[in-house]
Amino acid sequence: MNRLAARLLAAAALLSAPAALSAHRMWMLPSATVLSGTDSWVTVDAAVSNDLFFFDHQPLRLDGMTVWQPDGTPGALQNGSTGRYRSTFDVKLDKPGTWKIGTGMSTVMGSFTVDGVEKRIGRRGGPPPAPGAARPPELTAVDIPANATNVKLAEVSMRNELFVTAGAPTTTVLAPTGKGLEFAPVTHPDELVAGEPAHFRFLIDGKPAAGVQVTVIPGGKRYRDAENAMTLTTGANGMVDVTWPAAGMYWLNATSTDAKTSTPRATERRMSYITTVEVLTP
């Protein structure tokens, strides 16, 4: 399985079932989210796993991982490495303010039938090729012939982001792009405190997104019986309030589906947003 296919399959798993029930979750875990001065480093682990923040399935590939400095310009990812179960990398926070680290993808996935044979779009399917034989190229939506039947296409997009702050928090990197499902927090994601509500807004195509399902899960699931997930839904203004029961790292996943597609013959748009936040003691 190539790197893009692995990432697409992980994203498809996230988008095809409620977050609290999904077998594998994609996540990034920073060594810290709030640091002082401009000579600090943050180390990030990145993986796809059964238990949050525990390495037991596969690494999250670093191709496509991007760093934004506090002014919104590109930053540098350093010391990247990918092992059997996780990837890891460093970011030097040499400018004051809030940095964004993230990856994402947008693709079309689905299937169609020609002459009684089902073919898949956006991911490899069928048995592996014979030894020495080349694997056929992945099909895209433009490869669907006019005589195809049982066409089932969905546009799939995902963002997985972190926010880390050196010194006082800033908001430039929080500005939305106006495309797809986005996180537009009112409470700064690096100013979260246990017992205090955080106010988060979600947007779709730049507008407040009502009815978005938001799942919040504390880390450490491997060491407790219950998931302790909070399942919330945004209101008409795209807002959701989260009151943190305790300090620690939390995984947040927002998902939404609509029919506002731009790909011919696609009938559904599936969107996911993922972040990890750190909640501190009062």
Domains annotated for the chain, with CATH where assigned, are 3-106+155-280 (2.60.40.10)
Q: Residue 229: how many CB atoms within 10 A of its CB? A: 17
| Percent residues over pLDDT 90 in the chain | 73
Interatomic CA distance for residues 175 and 160, integer angstroms: 15
Which of 13-22, 58-67, 120-129, 145-154 comes out lowest in average pLDDT?
Answer: 13-22
Mean pLDDT of 87-94: 97
Structure tokens at 247: 């300090």
Q: What is the pLDDT of residue 146?
A: 87
Mean pLDDT of 1-17: 45
Mean pLDDT of 155-179: 97
Q: What is the pLDDT of residue 15?
A: 45
Which of 61-65, 98-102, 237-241 comes out lowest in average pLDDT?
Answer: 61-65
Residue 177 predicted with pLDDT over 80: yes
Q: What DSSP element (H or E) covers 201? A: strand 197-204
Q: 147-178 burial by CB neighbour count: b if 16+ within 10 A, else e?
A: eeeebebbbbbbbbbbbbbbbebbeebbeeee
Structure tokens at 99: 């940095």
Q: What is the pLDDT of residue 123?
A: 59
Residue 13 predicted with pLDDT over 70: no
Q: What is the pLDDT of residue 50?
A: 87
Q: What is the pLDDT of residue 225?
A: 86
Place of tokens 């731009």: 262
Q: What is the pLDDT of residue 132?
A: 66
Place of tokens 């596969």: 58
Mean pLDDT of 192-210: 98
Closest CA to 279 of 213, 206, 207, 217: 217
Interatomic CA distance for residues 103 and 251, integer angstroms: 16
Give pLDDT tens digits for 106-124: 999 999 999 899 988 875 4
Q: Residue 30: how many CB atoms within 10 A of its CB? A: 21
Closest CA to 32 of 248, 244, 275: 248
pLDDT-based confidence at residue 17 (cuts at 50, 70, 90) = very low
Q: What is the pLDDT of residue 237?
A: 97
pLDDT-based confidence at residue 176 (cuts at 50, 70, 90) = very high
Residue 23 predicted with pLDDT over 80: no
CA 249 to chain centroid, in Å, comes to 16
Residue 131 predicted with pLDDT over 60: yes
CA 51 to chain centroid, in Å, comes to 16
Q: What is the pLDDT of residue 215?
A: 97
Residue 152 predicted with pLDDT over 60: yes
Q: Which long-range contacts (CB under 8 A, 24 or more apart) does 18-22 make?
A: 18/213, 18/215, 18/231, 18/255, 19/213, 19/215, 19/217, 19/229, 19/253, 19/255, 20/215, 20/217, 20/227, 20/229, 20/231
Could you give the count of Cα atoms lying within 13 Å of 209 in the half-sphere of its Cβ?
28
Question: What is the DSSP pairing of strand 181-183 with strand 197-204?
Answer: antiparallel
Rounded (5°) CA angle 245-198-12: 85
Give pLDDT tens digits for 256-281: 999 999 988 899 999 999 999 999 99
Residue 249 predicted with pLDDT over 50: yes
Interatomic CA distance for residues 17 and 215, integer angstroms: 12
pLDDT-based confidence at residue 9 (cuts at 50, 70, 90) = very low
Q: What is the pTM of this model?
A: 0.87
Q: What DSSP element (H or E) covers 148? A: none
